[in-house]
Amino acid sequence: MTIAPGDTLPDLTLTAPDGTPVRLADFTGHKLVLFFYPKDDTPGCTTENIDFSALADDFAKARTALLGISKDPPKKHQKFIAKHGLTAPLASDAETGGLSDALGFWTEKSMYGRSYLGMVRSTLLVGTDGKVALVWSPVKVKGHAAEVLKAAQAL
């Protein structure tokens, strides 16, 4: 599946760092930013999470929830949050066939002639109607969180 503006997200369940379920349907009626990133505690992913966390209050003022998503397990998210003082909520999409798989963000990649499965850094802005308003994929980290904030404020 390739996600596009106007599409509705599948109602799949993710896992919060404390192990509780996170359902996308729980955000119905609210704007939502889903940012998909490859791996906790790597340079680009750390910068991206710090940038979204730094703007978390501004997203809240724009009545927009944040949710960072990777395939990392919940316990790794807990360590990542604690190490960097992150305030943007995270969720684990570790299940095969999960949200990132369904959206096509977990895909075959290649580096130095070696193929592997990996996350395409991507962001979705979902409107209060539950439909995708904007898609950024692939994402360049520098300035991205601020760009998404401006779009959320305008939505």
pLDDT digits (tens, 9 = 90+) for 1-19: 588 999 999 888 999 999 9
Can you give the pLDDT at residue 140?
95
Q: Which two tokens stand for residue 80?
A: 């990542």
Active site residues: 45
Can you give the pLDDT at residue 1?
58
Can you give the pLDDT at residue 116?
80
Burial 6-26 (b: 16+ CB within 10 A, else e): ebebeebebbbbeeeebebee
Can you give the pLDDT at residue 74?
96
Can you give the pLDDT at residue 131?
94
Can you give the pLDDT at residue 134?
97
d(CA 109, CA 102): 16
Architecture, CATH, for domain 13-154: 3-Layer(aba) Sandwich (3.40)
Q: Which residue positions in the chain have pLDDT lower than 50?
A: none
